[in-house]
Amino acid sequence: MLYTLVMMVCLTDVPQTCEEREQMVDGLAMHPGTAFMQAQPLVAQWIETHPGYFVQRWRVLPGRGS
């Protein structure tokens, strides 16, 4: 199922500077709770590939497109 991973990301050095990032994700389970658990490694991967940022919060929204 198609989902949008929505993350509120902030600069590590200036934590009050935040922005919302969206990433389309396909292949997650239809059940929202399971999809949320499956998306956790994607959030971890984003953190690893974006030094200088941290994820303040995140969610998975079904069927959403930018």
Instruction: Kindly report the pTM of this predicted structure.
Output: 0.86
Biggest distance spanned by C-alpha atoms of the chain: 37
Closest CA to 54 of 43, 66, 41, 38: 43
pLDDT at 57: 98
Report how far apart, in Å, the C-alpha atoms of 46 and of each of 30, 31, 49 are. Answer: 22, 23, 5
**pLDDT > 70? residue 58:** yes
Binning pLDDT at 50, 70 and 90, where does residue 1 land? confident
pLDDT at 10: 98
